[in-house]
């Protein structure tokens, strides 16, 4: 090797300048070993140079998200219906589209916290009764018109107008709104409310489009896309429908390049609608979509190219006892405790939610909000549940498998009035029925309710037959035909024997007919019947659930779900003022102590004080047993591995997974540091 280098040095051969013919001569003067050494040296040099170059680039550059990419999400049986912020749809697709197309003064971040969105600054004044906000500059609607404070005021006025029948109206009752200089808006509250900023996550409507539309003609449906003008990160582009049936197959949104915050990286978002879960699963396996929700499939598919995100959400399922319905006297506090102890929540979590849920014990969701758990927790213990029922007098009937309580013996009828000749009443009818049991006393057996001569003679015979019990105590030697105290006592004793009866421990569980309600109800029925409680299930359609069961409070026990907000406020669900429809206190719970704690917590501007008050409230409510809290399922969201930037940990509803959509990306590039 050294000889080879010496030749290069002393002969001053320039490898680069060698013509082709001289390359041959160059290699001829080298031995075989020298040629091998030359090639090895050259390859090593190139590799070293490449390594240094790559290392230099990697050390001095970084990967950065860049514009581009189309995100497609699949959903099942979710035809769009109400794409309007004024109306809360029960369909996820509607809420998803509203979240992307429209925007509000505030929004939720990836931790589920309320943060400013269209607001540049805000102030809370007058001990929480006044809130002033100022809009960012250069906010535009999708059609290029500027978004102004007047649009905010216009939207609130629509909400508060009863003609528009917005379900959000109750949240804005008594609140006045007025314009201030420099695109400011002032909100005045009738009383303190610590969670008011969350009200301001309301999506704003464009005044210049909706101001001339009457309440009867407000566009609710997706059939009028020209009204889908918002200020959100994405805007409506195209809808693809089946020509024959009108079935919406795909909805395409494109990036809002004039978005007031950071412009989204994704170029388009597309929602692909499938008729069945099987169709969606095929699309997932064919990699036709990049995202979907677990709730569409009811189980967790094993797909390597997707990552599953478990997102915490403050919604829970519970059993609500109708406090206003006293028809079932068996549902005492101790029996309710037994029912709670008999429910295997872990079975519900495993079988229904595929282990993607948490057991719940309280209406304030301690684990979600980092509160203290209740002082008393009724964990699964069927043996203790059975013992409680035994102590309450409900014994297991081996023949039926259900628990029964023997009721005190009762007579079918008791004579309480004096009866004499020519009386006419129901009591006389019962007297004649009793006397007719004795042919020797009342051979006629006539039952007409009239105390006539035949009845009087029969009474005399009865009195003389039981003279020792009737006549002797009164000093009489013969009957007088009048039914008074002594005669009544013997009639009651002889004619009407006491009958014993049993009271079966039976309950009726009402719920909806959509997953996961029927599935949860079936497990609860099995758990309760295992301890001898006869359990009937009444599954209702969504319409029947809303118009009959909830509106009329027509249930004994209701299995239902509820959801809190970023700022926990159980007031709508448990305050006594909300007992009647359309209030959300579906258990008709009434407690002056709980009311006081809820009112103070709602007014508090301090999160620490609010937490303390709500922790006290949970213990008061649980002691009264108006409900059994079951489970808080996570929201499971699947995204393809090439979708980056998703970081949501907590959210108040599924649509809020798009709250930080502008940070999602599919394309990357290297830039110098």
What is the dihedral sign for C-alpha 575, 579, 585, 590?
Answer: positive
Say which DSSP state 43 is in: H
Taking the C-alpha atoms of residue 518 and residue 509, their distance in angstroms, rounded to an integer, is: 10
Where helices occur in 61-188 by DSSP H, the ranges are 92-101, 149-160
Residues 634 and 349: beta-carbon distance below 8 Å = no
Instruction: Order across the sheet with 248-255: list the strands.
Output: 234-241, 248-255, 268-274, 70-76, 291-293, 635-640, 306-311
Please give the Cα distance from 496 to 414 (Å, whole number): 7
Contacts 24+ apart (CB under 8 A), 435-439: 435/459, 435/462, 437/495, 438/462, 438/465
What per-residue string of b and e applies to 431-440 under the rule 16 or more CB within 10 Å gives b? Answer: bbebbbebee
β-partners of residue 122 are 133
Measured CA to CA, the distance from residue 362 to residue 619 in angstroms comes to 9
User: How far apart are the C-alpha atoms of 161 and 214, rounded to whole Å?
Assistant: 12
Return phi, psi of residue 159, to 5°.
-60, -40
Q: What backbone torsions phi and psi does residue 327 show, to the nearest 5 degrees?
A: -70, -35
- Helices 453-465 and 485-495 sit at what angle, rounded to 10 degrees? 80
> What mean pLDDT is reported for the chain?
88
Element (H, E) at 399: none
How far apart, in Å, are the Cα atoms of 329 and each of 122, 334, 503?
54, 12, 10
Distance CA(269)–CA(148), nearest Å, equals 27
- CB-neighbour burial class of residue 245 (10 A; exposed 0-12, middle 13-18, buried 19+): exposed
The beta-strand segments (E) located in 136-203 are 176-180, 184-188
β-pairing, 184-188 with 176-180? Answer: antiparallel
Pairing of strands 61-66, 667-672: antiparallel
Mean pLDDT per 10-residue section of the chain, whose length is 673 residues: 45 49 63 73 80 71 84 89 83 93 96 95 94 96 96 95 88 94 96 93 94 78 76 94 88 96 96 90 90 67 80 96 85 95 96 92 94 92 96 91 79 84 91 90 91 92 90 88 91 75 87 93 97 95 88 94 93 94 91 96 93 96 96 94 94 95 89 68
Domains of the chain by start residue, with CATH: 2-63 (no CATH), 70-312+635-672 (3.40.190.10), 315-406+503-633 (3.10.105.10), 426-497 (no CATH)
Helix (H) or strand (E) holding 208: helix 207-210
Residue 15's pLDDT is what? 47
d(CA 601, CA 193): 9
- Cβ neighbors of 23 (< 8 A, separation 6 or more) are none
- Cβ proximity of 537 and 519 under 8 Å: no
The pTM assigned to this predicted structure is 0.77
Q: In this structure, are residues 508 and 557 in contact, taking their beta carbons and an 8 Å threshold?
A: yes
How many helices, marked H, and strands, marked E, lie in the chain? 21, 24
DSSP annotation of 262: S
Give the residue carrying structure tokens 């900023």.
197
Beta strands in 81-151 (DSSP E): 106-108, 114-116, 119-125, 130-135
Token pair recorded at residue 94 = 């509607």
Cβ density class 252-287: b for 16+ within 10 Å, e for less: bbbbbeebbbeebbbbbbbbbbbeeeeebbebbeee
CB 577 within 8 Å of CB 583: yes
Per-residue tokens: 127: 């001990």
In the block, tokens 């009867």 appear at 216
The dihedral sign for the CA sequence 621, 627, 633, 635: negative
pLDDT at residue 548, rounded to an integer:
87
Q: Residues with Cβ < 8 Å from 503, sequence gap 6 or more?
A: 330, 404, 405, 406, 407
């Amino acid at each position: 090797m050294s000889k080879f280098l010496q030749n290069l040095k002393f002969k001053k051969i320039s490898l680069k300048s060698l013509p082709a013919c001289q390359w041959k001569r160059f290699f001829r003067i080298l031995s075989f070993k020298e040629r091998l050494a030359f090639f090895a040296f050259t390859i090593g040099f190139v590799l070293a140079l490449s390594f240094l170059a790559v290392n230099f680039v990697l050390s001095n550059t970084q990967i950065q998200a860049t514009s581009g990419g189309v995100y497609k999400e699949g959903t099942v049986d979710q035809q769009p219906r109400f794409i309007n912020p004024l109306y809360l749809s029960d369909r996820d697709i509607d809420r998803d589209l509203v979240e992307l197309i429209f925007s509000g003064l505030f929004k939720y971040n990836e931790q589920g916290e309320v943060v400013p969105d269209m607001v540049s600054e805000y102030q809370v004044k007058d001990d929480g009764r006044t809130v002033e906000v100022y809009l960012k500059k250069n906010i535009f609607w999708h059609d290029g018109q500027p978004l102004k404070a007047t649009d905010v005021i216009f939207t609130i006025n629509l909400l508060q107008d009863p003609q528009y029948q917005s379900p959000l109206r109750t949240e804005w009752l008594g609140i006045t709104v007025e314009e201030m200089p420099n695109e400011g808006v002032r909100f005045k509250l009738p009383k303190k409310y610590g969670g008011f900023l969350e009200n301001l996550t309301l999506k704003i409507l464009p005044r210049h489009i909706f101001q001339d539309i009457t309440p009867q003609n407000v566009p609710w449906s997706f059939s009028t896309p020209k009204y889908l003008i918002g200020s959100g990160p994405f805007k409506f582009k195209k809808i693809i429908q089946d020509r024959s049936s009108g079935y919406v197959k795909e909805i395409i949104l494109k990036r809002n390049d004039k978005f007031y915050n950071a412009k989204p990286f994704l170029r388009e978002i597309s929602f692909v609608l499938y008729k069945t879960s099987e169709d969606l699963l095929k699309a997932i396996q064919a990699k036709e979509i990049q995202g979907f929700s677990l709730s569409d499939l009811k189980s967790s598919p094993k797909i390597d190219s997707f990552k599953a995100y478990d997102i915490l959400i403050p919604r829970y399922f519970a059993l609500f006892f109708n406090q206003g319905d006293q028809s079932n006297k068996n549902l005492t506090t101790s029996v309710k405790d037994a029912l709670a102890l008999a429910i295997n929540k872990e079975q519900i979590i495993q079988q229904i939610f595929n282990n993607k849920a948490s057991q719940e014990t309280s209406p304030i969701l301690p684990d979600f909000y980092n509160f203290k758990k209740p002082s008393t927790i009724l964990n699964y213990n069927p043996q203790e549940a059975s013992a409680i029922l035994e102590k309450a007098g409900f014994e297991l009937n081996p023949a039926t498998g259900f628990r029964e309580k023997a009721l005190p013996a009762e007579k079918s009828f008791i004579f309480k009035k004096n009866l004499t000749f020519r009386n006419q009443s129901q009591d006389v009818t019962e007297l004649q029925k009793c006397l007719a049991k004795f042919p020797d006393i009342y051979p006629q057996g006539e039952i007409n309710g009239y105390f006539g001569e035949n009845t009087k003679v029969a009474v005399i015979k009865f009195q003389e037959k039981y003279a020792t019990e009737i006549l002797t105590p009164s000093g009489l030697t013969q009957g007088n035909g009048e039914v008074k105290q002594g005669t009544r006592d013997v009639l009651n004793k002889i004619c009407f024997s006491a009958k014993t009866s049993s009271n079966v421990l039976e309950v009726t569980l009402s719920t909806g007919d959509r997953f996961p309600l029927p599935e949860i109800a079936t497990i609860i029925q099995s758990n309760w019947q295992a301890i001898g409680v006869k359990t009937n299930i009444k599954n209702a359609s969504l319409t029947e659930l809303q118009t009959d069961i909830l509106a009329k409070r027509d249930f004994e026990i209701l299995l239902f779900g509820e959801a809190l907000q970023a700022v926990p406020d159980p007031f709508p669900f448990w305050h006594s003022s909300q007992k009647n429809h359309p209030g959300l206190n579906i258990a008709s719970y009434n407690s002056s102590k709980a009311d006081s704690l809820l009112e103070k917590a709602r007014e508090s501007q301090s999160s620490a004080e609010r937490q303390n008050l709500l922790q006290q409230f949970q213990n008061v409510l649980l002691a009264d047993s108006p409900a059994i809290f079951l489970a808080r399922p996570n929201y499971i969201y699947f995204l393809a591995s090439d979708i980056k930037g998703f970081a949501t940990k907590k959210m108040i509803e599924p649509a809020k997974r798009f709250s930080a959509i502008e940070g999602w990306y599919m394309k990357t590039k290297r830039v110098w540091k």
